[in-house]
Amino acid sequence: MSTHAKRPASGPMPLKKCPTGILGLDEITGGGLPKGRTTIVCGGPGCGKTMLGVEFLVRGAMKFNEPGVLMAFEETPRDIATNVASLGFDIHALARKKKLYLDFLSVESSEIKESGDYDLEGLFIRLQGAIAAVGAKRVMFDTLEALFSGFSNPQILRAEFRRLFRWLKDRGLTAIVTAERGEGNLTRYGLEEYVSDCVILLDHRVKNQISERRLRIVKYRGTSHGADEYPFLIDECGMSILPLSALQLQHRVWNERVSSGIPDLDQMLEGQGYLPRNQHSRHRHCRQR
């Protein structure tokens, strides 16, 4: 009989996650987006797709020392920088510090001729240079669909999307791809069905004349996650997702009492007077981020 003890079989490795730094999002995803994989953020116009992607890059550069690449296909980096300046993000300053690489690739459908040999090799070369320039760990495409606006062959589309996502995964890059909402699908080309590891759906609706924003994690391979619709805000501090099912009371509890100056009233208030109002700043969460 062998005297060597049998080693227990090692279980499957848990999915590694990349923290976003976005208030509330890491909580409902159990730690962030899938590390080294691609996440699709989809929704209609004006729902906050670009804001989420840019904040993912900015928080990565500022909080986690993970430089990023912003590859834009519709809006120029100058336009995007102007749009996110109201959130307190200066992406041009981060670019000057080699924390972000900003690139814009204009694709005009009138200048494209579809052929069976069409591929993304030129994009890969350009993207590789951008990644090397800053040592990027995160990538954002806004929006990748613009690359294929002039093409109708679904086989070419799917093959190239798969090849791009595999290219990113092979290099350990955590990526966000923004996509417009499709007819009958979450995205225009049905990307969520076959190439994505995580899909986040954003919705901007008006109900009873009140504007509401909602976020839902539709798909997340390899891990549990919150499956509800979560309200979120976009303000001068960035995005804030509100996981109502997991809210905790974390404000300071005050025990001091202040006399009202009226003995009988103080006696009614347990003989000690009023509890003072919490004077914490209404924007305390912004400073904590």
Structural domains of the chain, with CATH: 17-243 (3.40.50.300), 254-289 (no CATH)
CA distance 68 to 36: 13
Q: Burial level of 100, CB count in 10 A (0-12/13-18/19+)?
A: buried
Look at residue 282 and tell me whether its pLDDT is greater than 50.
no
Look at residue 151 and tell me whether its pLDDT is greater than 90.
no
Q: Which of 224, 202, 197, 219 is nearest to 38 (CA)?
A: 197
Look at residue 135 and tell me whether its pLDDT is greater than 60.
yes
Measure CA 143 to chain center: 14
The whole-number average pLDDT for the span 119-145 is: 90
pLDDT score, position 96: 96
The whole-number average pLDDT for the span 59-83 is: 94
Look at residue 201 and tell me whether its pLDDT is greater than 70.
yes
Share of the chain above pLDDT 90, in %: 45
Integer angstrom CA distances of residue 279 from 256, 284, 285, 287: 13, 11, 14, 15
Least confident of 19-33, 141-155, 169-183, 233-247: 141-155
Q: Quickly state the pLDDT bin for 119 (edges 50, 70, 90).
A: low
pLDDT score, position 281: 42
Look at residue 184 and tell me whether its pLDDT is greater than 60.
yes
DSSP conformation class of 151: -
pLDDT score, position 108: 61
Look at residue 185 and tell me whether its pLDDT is greater than 80.
no
Which helix (H) or strand (E) segment is 61 a member of? Answer: helix 49-63
End-to-end CA separation in angstroms for the chain: 60
- Contact between 30 and 225 (Cβ < 8 Å): yes
Residue owning tokens 């797709």: 49
Look at residue 247 and tell me whether its pLDDT is greater than 90.
no
pLDDT score, position 105: 85
CA distance 53 to 55: 5
**Average pLDDT value over all residues in the chain:** 82
Integer angstrom CA distances of residue 90 from 45, 59, 130, 196: 23, 12, 19, 30
pLDDT score, position 231: 94
Type of residue numbered 53 = G
pLDDT score, position 264: 80
pLDDT score, position 6: 52
